[in-house]
Amino acid sequence: MADFTSILLVVVAALLGLARAHTVITYPGWRGNNLHTNGTLPEDNPDTIGIDLLENGTMAFPYGMQWMYPCGGMPMTTNRTKWPYGGGALSIQPGWFPGHAKAFFYVNIGIQEQGQRAPPNYSHPVVPPFQITGPNNSEYNGQFCLPQVRMPANLSLAVGDNITIQVIETAQHGAALYSCVDVELAEPADVEQVTPQNCYNSTDIGFNLVFTTEALTGGAASLLSGPSTTVAMVAAVVMFGFAFVL
């Protein structure tokens, strides 16, 4: 009975996190405010698929907009900010709402070729996945900044190209929040300057490296003997200083 109660509590906690967790790209910007949860409550809406098309032509997001792939319910924008063609800074506020004592992050880009109206996909990862730790599971202020997210060398991106940066934050129950920014690639001199005001790491946000078990050798591998061997991703409990280069 006690076990059943604790399972229920976990489920309730997960639902609360699902309803409230969000992420904000503070540099170089975002498509717009998608921190909205509206429409009929999910518990009264058994037919919902996450996005409800209403009779009057508007949409409603009973679980929240940011859960929508690929860009958190936001369409492509035309007010592009400029971003260095070789890669640049990315600053993120991860704890806008509760549920992010821990979170995995992924950053991808979508590339718009000449003549295309939007990127065909967001299948180009530009940093290795990593985990952040926040001070607690409530809302917290603060941000982290990757000062130099480099573009993969084999993509040969040029000044004037349009790309979309997609930031994904997974909540502790595994569901993913999406936020994007549409940028025009430019010479670094033409880009809003990166400063300690718009790009910094708050002291109470930590980083954990994520790697696969294949990267483990010797003694470390024995940690994974037993039932947990199926766990493929491990967050090492080391504060790391790896450069975000591919």
Ligand X SMILES: *[C@@H]1O[C@H](CO)[C@@H](O)[C@H](O)[C@H]1NC(C)=O
Residue number with CB closer to ligand X (3 or 47): 47
Residue number with CB closer to ligand X (147 or 188): 147
Report yes or no: 127 and 169 within 8 Å, Cβ to Cβ: no
Rounded least distance, CB 196 to ligand X, Å: 8
Closest CB to ligand X: residue number: 29
Cα separations (Å) of 222 from 201, 217, 233, 237? 34, 9, 15, 16
Rounded least distance, CB 38 to ligand X, Å: 4
Element (H, E) at 111: strand 102-112
Closest CA to 207 of 104, 66, 54: 104
In the complex, the residues that contact ligand X under the rule CB under 6 A are 29-30, 32-33, 36, 38-39, 54, 56, 58-61, 77-81, 111-112, 114, 120-121, 123, 135-136, 138, 140, 144-147, 152, 154, 160, 162, 181, 184, 199-201, 204, 207, 241, 244, 246
Report yes or no: 187 and 94 within 8 Å, Cβ to Cβ: no
Residue number with CB closer to ligand X (11 or 54): 54
Rounded least distance, CB 168 to ligand X, Å: 16
Rounded least distance, CB 13 to ligand X, Å: 14
Rounded least distance, CB 73 to ligand X, Å: 7
Rounded-to-integer distance, Cα 28 and Cα 82, Å: 8
CB neighbour burial string for 205-216, b if at least 16 within 10 angstroms, e if fewer = bbbbbbeebeee
Residue number with CB closer to ligand X (122 or 170): 122
Residue number with CB closer to ligand X (63 or 144): 144
Q: Which residues pair with 92 in a beta bridge?
A: 25, 144
